Structures are given as structure tokens and as C-alpha cells.
Amino acid sequence: MWGTIMFFRTRAKSRFFEPRSRSSFLYCRAIYARTAAHFARLRYARFPARAAGLVIAGALTLAGCGEEEQAQNAAEEAIGVFASLVTRQELAEPVTGTGTVAAHKTTVLGPRVDGIIEEIMVRVGDRVTEGQPLFRTRDAEWKLKVSELENHVRLASAESQNAQKTFARTEELHGNGFVSNGKLDDARAARDAANARLGMAKAQLATAQQMLDDCVVTAPFDGVITKRDVDEGKFMATRMGGMGGDSGGVLQIMKIDIVAAIVNVPEIYLSKFTVGTKGKVFLDGIDKSYDSYVAILNDRIDPVTRSVEVRLPIENKDYEVKPGLFARAEIYPDPREVLVLDRAALLGTEARRHVFVAENGRAKRVDVAVRQIDATRVEVLSGLKEGDKALSGPNAPLLIDGVAVRIEGGAEAEDAHEQTLASDAAAQPTVK
């Protein structure tokens, strides 16, 4: 039996059974457990002395492992880490929306009178000023009409003057008793009828003159020609041109000295900004950005996309910004104070985040709730307070609760390391 005990004792001290870590110590305990199980099978056997020897050998093996584990703890070195400070900062998170650049004004111009388009005086891309002629409908018929109605006005004017004179003479004779009341009434009626005919002739002449003027369509505002739908020679009616769009317009003109980025912003951000809130518009098509502000906030929420329409103006004196460009806008609400932590200190999964902090020279796990700010920072919602230091660095994934740590860099790291050594020394058992 003594030989069996010495055999297991020797094997326990051998290099094969040397416990170099906690996992090795657990392995030694497993050996002892198997030895005890073997004894249970032999307790009714014919050799009880052999069974007792196996139990004693297993106990000695476990004792040897325990001595090695204590030695390992004594030689344990602190894990080198860095400290990330939780700070309070003012955070102005931009609210982002995407959309399209739109012109200040857009008008489809069609003919004002029925007729053949006789002349188009501009091309797509031309800059035009308010009142500048753009195209003309054939006006020969209206010129003749105006000439005819001018003669009608002259005729009616002569008749009106004659009727006025006749009424004046009749009224004088009636005062002297030479003309009856009936004659006076007839003269008055003739004068009034002549004046009415003169008024009608003048109105008809004014209408014809307006139609003649409308044969030439002018620019309603300063802008640029962005579309031309027809060429000379096409007959167009006002009922077609008045419909706009692609159903009868001759030209399209846009006012783009001021344009607007019309973007859609998710409704959850509606409370974060108002009319007048500063913003910036980014135009990828021309690789530029423009400072702006919220000029119009639509009161209607789109029930399908759950977004609100926001308009941010852009000054465009040189016409560099083109309507239709894709626009990305950032709106900057008033800043708020938050707790900020380096993202590198975060451990765990997205569902459950945690960090480690140093307490008496050892790592302590703290569960935290965070929200991402950008690629390098997170906002601490709970778990840490201002001034706390979260452990980070290449060795951070090795940390577990209670492991010794050494904060790298500066006098603070040396103090922490001294605390670790003192804590380790107090925890070591005395070996006699």
C-alpha cells in the first residue's frame, strides 16, 4: 500500500501533473474524484488495503495541486490596461434628412391667345430677366382687329358728339317753350345711346389691343429657361397652354437665384427643432455644403413615411446649385449635456454592455446602458457617473471580476499598481 501511495505522490509532483493555472488545479481535483469513485467500486472487493491506498494517494495529489495553485497566485502579475475617463460634454446631435433641391419658383409658359407659334426667342439654359420677350404667337389677325375697332371708336365718338350737341339745342328750345317735353326726352335718349356705343367700341378696342399684346409672352420673373416643348409653326390653344406640365406648355422657366432643399425628417425628431433652427445642406453632386436654417416646417406629417417636410433656403446668385440635386441636410438643435465615454472601453454584446473599473487595484465589472454618438464615443445612460474611469486597451478582453490590474501611464498608474501589490500581499497565506 505504501508503494501505491508513493507512486501517486510522485506522479502528482511530476511535470505531467504540474498545475500551471486554475484549469490545471481543476484537473487535479478531477483526478481525486476519479480515485474516490474507484475506491467505491473496490470497497466490497477482496483487497480493502489497496482501496485505502488509492484514496490516500488521491488526497496527496490534490494537496500537491493546492500548493502549486498558491504558488501561482503569489506569482500572479497585474494586467496592464488604460483608463478611459467618463466626462461631461455638451453634445449637439444633428438631425439628418434627405431630399431634393427645388427652385424658388417654377412656371410652365403657354400661349395667351390661340394661334400658331411664330417665333421662339430663347433656348434652354438662357438667363432671362423679368419682362423679356420669350416667344410670340402669330398676330396679323389681331392687328387687323385692332385697326377695325379703332375706326369703330372714331365713329362712335362722332355720333356721341353729335347727339350731345342735339340734346343741348333741344334743351335750350325747351326752355324757351318752343319744344315739347317729348322732344327733349328723345334728344336725351339719343345722347345716352351714342355715349353707350362709344363706350362699347372703346372696350372692344381695348380687348383687341390686349390680345395683340398677349401674342408676345414675356418672362414673369428673373430666371433661367429649363425646358422647351415645341418649336415654331405649331398651332396652340390657350386651353392647352393653360393646363401646364407636358400638355401644351411652350417653355419652362425657373427662378433659382434662391433655391430650397426640401428634405424629409423622421417625425421622432420633430420636437428637437423649430423654424429658425440653424442647419447645413450638403450637395454631393457639386461636393459643396451651404449654411442655412429651417425656413418652412410643414404642419402635415406623412402617414406613410412618418416624416415631416422641412425646407432650408440656399442663396444661389451664380446659379451653381441646380434644381433636382440630391440634398442631405443636418439640422442643429440646441446642445445638451451628456456623459461621454470612449467606445473602446465597452465590452459585451449589443444586448448587454458592460465595462470594468479599477477598485483597490482589481477589476470590477459594471453593467452599463449606452447610446452611440459616433464611431469613437458613446453616451452613458446608466451605470457610470462623471469622473469614473473605465478600463480599456488591448488587454481589456482578458479582464474578469477580481483580476489584478495595472493602469498604464502616469503617477496614477503607479499608485494603482502599489495598491495592487499591497492587496496581493495581504491576501497571500503564510507558509510555515
DSSP string, 65-95: HHHHHHHHHHT--PEEEEEEE-EEEEE-PPE
Q: Identify the bridge partners of residue 89 per DSSP, sorted by sequence position.
A: 338
pLDDT of 392 > 50? The answer is: yes
Exposure letters 412-431 (e unless 16+ CB within 10 A, then b): ebeebbebbeeebeeeeeee
The predicted pLDDT at position 176 comes to: 87
**Predicted pLDDT at 44:** 37
Q: Which grid cell is 5? A: 501511495
- Domain coordinates in residue numbering, the chain: 2-74, 79-89+338-427, 108-236, 254-336
Task: Write down the architecture of domain 79-89+338-427 according to CATH.
Answer: Beta Barrel (2.40)
Q: What does the alpha-carbon distance between residue 425 and residue 422 come to, in Å, rounded to a whole number?
A: 5
pLDDT at residue 128 in the model: 96
User: pLDDT digits over 248-260, tens only?
Assistant: 589 999 999 999 9
| Exposure class string for 158-169: b at 16+ Cβ within 10 A, else e | ebbeebeebbee
What's the Cα-to-Cα distance from 317 to each of 196, 257, 281, 314, 327, rounded to whole Å?
53, 5, 16, 9, 18
79-89+338-427 and 254-336 in the same fold: no
pTM of the model as a whole: 0.59
- Mean pLDDT to the nearest integer, 161-182: 90
Please compute the mean of the pLDDT values over residues 144-168 and round it to a whole number: 94
Instruction: Please say if the pLDDT value at position 276 is more than 60.
Output: yes
What is d(CA 42, CA 54) in angstroms, rounded to the nearest whole number?
Answer: 10
Written as one string, the DSSP assignment of 361-428 is TEEEEEEEEEEE-SSSEEEEEES--TT-EEEESTTGGG--TT-BEEE-SHHHHHHHHHHHHHHHHHHS
Bigger pLDDT: 429 vs 132: 132
Which CATH architecture is the domain 254-336 placed in?
Answer: Beta Barrel (2.40)
**What is the per-residue pLDDT across 289-346, written as a single tens digit (0 to 9) for each?**
999 999 999 999 999 999 999 999 999 999 999 999 999 999 999 888 999 999 999 9
Q: How far apart are CA 228 and CA 135, in angstroms?
A: 11
Residue with cell 405649331: 234
DSSP state of 314: E
Cell triple for 125: 439654359
| Collapsed DSSP state (helix, strand, coil) of residue 109 | strand
